[in-house]
Amino acid sequence: MCGICGFVGKIDDEVKIIEKMAKVITHRGPNDVNFFVDNDVAMGFRRLSIIDVSEGRQPIYNENNNLVLTFNGEIYNFLELKHQLESLGHKFYTHTDTEVIVHGFEEWGESVTLKLRGMFAFAIWNREEKSIFLARDHFGIKPLHYCMCENNFIYASEIKSILEFPKFEKKLNMKAFDNYLSFQYVPEPETIFENIYCLQPGHFMWYKDSKIKIRKFFEPILAPDETLDFEKTVSNIENAVKESVDAHKVSDVPVGCFLSSGVDSSYVASFLTGHQSFTVGFEENENYNETKYAKDLSEKIGTKNINKIISADEYWGAIKDVQYFMDQPLADPSCVALYFVCRLAREHVTVVLSGEGADEFFGGYQVYNQPRVFKFYQKFLSQSIRTWLANFVKKIPFKFKGRGFIIRGEKKIEDKFIGNANIFSKDEKKEILKDRDIATNPMNFVRPYYDKFKKLDSSSKMQNLDINLWMVGDILLKADRMSMANSLELRVPLLDRNVFEVAKTLPSKFKTPKENTKFAFRKAASKSLPGDAAQKPKLGFPVPIRVWLKEKKYYEIVREAFTSKTARKFFIEKKICTLLREHYEGKEDFSRKIWTIYTFIIWYDIYFGE
């Protein structure tokens, strides 16, 4: 695992510039640093040594040195590709997975992206053609950012590296800020910085003669097959997951795994007998502490569990560091907890396996049940009647059984679901923002995805939306940034091409029937996990933000931020302080809204503060 950065164009002091760009991402690769600098290009590389520790230094070249590669990631089918390329006459000088990319590019061109199995973001400079080729893996596990600055093309694994480029002028992207307030993250391809973009998952790009060309080589679209046999499907899931975990375990350094009370990480951990597992929890109560479950399960499956209880003060004390490493504001409270479990794991191993991706692939979120729950209600009552009923019950001053059902059942999924996080609506943003004109309806952003997936059933539409937005912008972003902040390689065997080939065909009845979520996946996991571990309800990564914001100490910390100069620059102080006070007094749970505002203020002061 590594960090890459570079630029194409003419500029003075190119060596000093590329050194600065690489230095700020030292955490991505503390073992080594190296550069390639020519008349028209500078490429930087930071290395965290995993495969071929002694010889795998980058940049990597082809036989005649006209192609120069820097790469971040892991290729799990590299031995297969290496044998194929050797049979075609290519000569290898290392044993690293990196080298198959440069020879593969030489042999197959941009089609090499279709042959790679793994997580990757890489750049290949062609010294003869004066062009650079960049690509990002199928699901967006590894990040890659780019921008144009005057006549210079700049790219990097992390945005903070691009900010070191001397001619780049840092500006807040107000469109991205607006989206952040709704989604709790910045949806790609925009970033929170104006004129810096993400190369989206499953895309590659060329830069030559001041022109950028971007093409898609892969798109994860679900294709449910109603004719599938359930038991055969469960067997296919089991075989795909086992094979993927085996492939992801390959390493020349120690490997461990994360372990929560969820079925995803538990299933992955069940294949790592003899390895170490890592868990964190909070001291508030058992709803926020998964360490006991993890310890008990570890004893049953043969892993050694190492755990830590995070105190409230530790958590709050790490928020600024976390937002610095994130590059962009992310209001998912679990990213701080993830930072701590990554730090814990790094004390013992260099590589960890985790369970990201199973919820999106196999239907793990409770919200995916909504189309089934509201099916008959929406079938027999027209939209106008449902809207009238919803507006009527909202005006009733007391809560009663069925009130939530009527409100949630008003609209179809395509008219209300923007992903797993839905923080501020357009009207709510107008209430709190100084500049009310920037507020947009988040449904306008997701509408093109629904139009693209319109042939799918409603639950599958929700999954596809989350695979393309939520998973990339929240789940994978925090996984990459928090692991790399601790110089730890995080691998996600459930986010694998072969696993997806099985997952994409599952009909909704195999994912979200009445019994449970991830139904077929849990059945597969039950063959490897003891007792009822595979049937445990999903908790996510619970963090007691809601509880802490009712304690005076943390209420005052947030209140100070809400009355700061930065807060007044963007928000109406009275409005956001009212949200905070009403939560503190127990009138309403506004914790997610409060956290979204607070996180942005903290992030802004880090990157734009004086």
Nearest of 350, 269, 347 to residue 308 by alpha carbon = 347
Strands (E), 26-66: 32-37, 41-47, 60-61
**Residue 495: CA count within 13 A, CB half-sphere:** 28
If you ran DSSP here, which 8-state letter would residue 572 be given? -
Number of Cβ within 10 Å of residue 539's Cβ equals 13
Token pair listed for 133: 């080729």
State CA 227 to chain mean position distance.
32
Q: What is the DSSP string of 460-507?
A: HHHHHHHHHTHIIIIIIHHHHHHHHHTT-EEE-TTS-HHHHHHHTT--
Alpha-carbon separation of residue 136 from 71, 234, 262, 473 (angstroms): 10, 31, 29, 14
Given the residues 5, 149, 257, 335, the one annotated as active site: 5
Token pair listed for 191: 């970033």
Main-chain phi, psi angles of 68, to 5 degrees = -120, 125
Q: What is the DSSP string of 112-137?
A: HHHH--EEEEEEEEETTTTEEEEEE-
307 touches 280 (CB < 8 A)? yes
**Residue 211 is inside which H or E element, if any?**
strand 211-216
Q: Tell me whether residue 5 is one of the annotated catalytic residues.
A: yes
Nearest of 70, 140, 64, 63 to residue 476 by alpha carbon = 140
Nearest of 83, 87, 111 to residue 99 by alpha carbon = 83
Q: Which residues contact 98 (CB under 8 A, 6 or more apart)?
A: 51, 56, 58, 60, 69, 71, 75
Q: Which residues contact 45 (CB under 8 A, 6 or more apart)?
A: 2, 3, 4, 22, 29, 32, 33, 34, 35, 58, 59, 70
Residue with tokens 């107008």: 430
User: Could you give the residue numbers annotated as active site?
Assistant: 5
